[in-house]
Amino acid sequence: MLYAVILAGGRGTRFWPLSRRALPKQCLSLDGGPTLIQRTVARILPLVPVDRVLVVTGPDMAEAIRAQLPDLPAANLLIEPSARNTAPVAAWTAWEVARRGGGTICVLPSDHMIADEHSFRAALGLALTSAGEGGIVTLGIRPTHPETGFGYIEPVAPTAPGCITPVRRFVEKPDHERAVELIRSGCVWNAGMFCWRSDIVQEAVRRFLPRTAAAMQAWSEGAPLPSVWGETDATSVDYGILERSDGIRVVPGEFGWSDVGSWPALAEILPAQEWGSGVGDVESLRSTGNVVYSRDRLVALLGVEDLVIVDTPDVLLVARKAEGQKVKDLLDQVERHRPRRYD
C-alpha cells in the first residue's frame, strides 16, 4: 500500500504579509491558479488515492487546510499539538500508517511548485518502488545555479534522470564558493522529499531517537497525543534520521521544481514582464526587475528597480529584492510591537 504524507505545518513567514498564521503560504495561490497545497495533493493522486493521503498541520491552520481540501477524509487531517520540527511528524505518521496496516510512504512539502508533473510522478514512482524494497530513498533536484539557501546531497557517482544512486553524504547550506564546487562535483539539491516503508521509519526512530519512539509507542497504546508529544525529539528528519542512516539512495529529478521560498522567487514561476514579474494590475515607467503582488489596487511603478511590493488589505510591504529572505525578521519586529495584529 502506498501512502503520502503532506507536511503543511509551516507558517511561510517569508511570504508575509500575504501569508498569515491562519492562512499560511501553502493555502495561497501565488499565480492566480489553485493553491500550493491543492496542487501538491492533486499531482500525487495518480499514484496515491486521496484516502491514503495524510496531511499534517498545526491547530491554527487546521480550519484553512480543511477548506482547501474538501475531499480529504476527516481522519486524514492530522493535527500536531505543537511545532516540534519534522522528525516527530515523520515518526507519528509512520506509527499511524502502521496502525492502518503498514505501507510505503512518500513525505512531501505542501508549498512547492512543480512545472513538469509527469516527470515528477515518474521520479516519485521510481523512488516509491525502490523504497518498497527497503531503505530510504530521497528525491534530489538538479541544480540550476549555486544556491546557498538549500542543502545538498552528494551521490557516490554521477547521476542521471531515471537512475537510483547511493548517497555518500548530506551537505549543509554552503556559501557561494562551496555551492559552485558542489555542483561541479555532481551534487543535487535536497528538496525535503523522501520515501520509506513505515516499518523502516519505526526501526530508524527506535535506533536514533529512542525518546520519540517511546512517545509514539505510548500513543499507539492509547496515551493521548498531547500527553506524549512534548517527549519527542524536536529535530528535523535530516538531522535526526537521514544523516545518521546508512544505505540511503537518491533519485535525481528535473521537473521544474521551485520551493518558492520568498517573494523574489516568484520571478522563477511567473511570466516575465517589462517591469519584472508578479500578480495584479501594474503600470510601469522606466522600471525593471520588480516583483509585485496586488489583488485589489493598481500598482504604479516609476523609475524603480529590484523591489518587492506586496499590497494586502491591511499591510503594504516594500523591500529590496536582495532583502527578500529577511521578511521573517521584519515580521518578528512587527509581532513584538503589535502582538497578534498582523501575523
Local mean pLDDT, 10-residue blocks, the chain (343 residues) = 95 90 89 92 97 96 95 98 96 98 97 94 96 95 90 87 88 92 93 96 98 98 97 96 94 91 88 93 96 94 97 95 91 90 83
Identity at 115, one-letter amino acid code: A
Cβ burial, residue 81 (10 Å; 0-12/13-18/19+):
middle
Q: What is the pLDDT of residue 93?
A: 98
**Non-local CB neighbours of 231 within 8 Å, separated by 6+ positions:** 211, 212, 214, 215
In this prediction the pTM is 0.92
Q: What is the pLDDT of residue 158?
A: 75
Strand partners for 196: 105, 136
- CATH number where 42 lies: 3.90.550.10
Q: Are 153 and 167 in contact (CB under 8 A)?
A: yes
Q: For residue 290, what are the domain limits? A: 264-337
- Look-up of cell digits 497545497: 37
Q: What is the pLDDT of residue 171?
A: 93
Domain end among 195, 224, 258: 258
Q: Are 275 and 301 in contact (CB under 8 A)?
A: yes
Does 321 lie in the same domain as 217? no
Q: What is the pLDDT of residue 261?
A: 85
Q: What is the pLDDT of residue 157?
A: 83
Does 146 lie in the same domain as 86? yes
Does 164 lie in the same domain as 312? no
Does 190 lie in the same domain as 148? yes
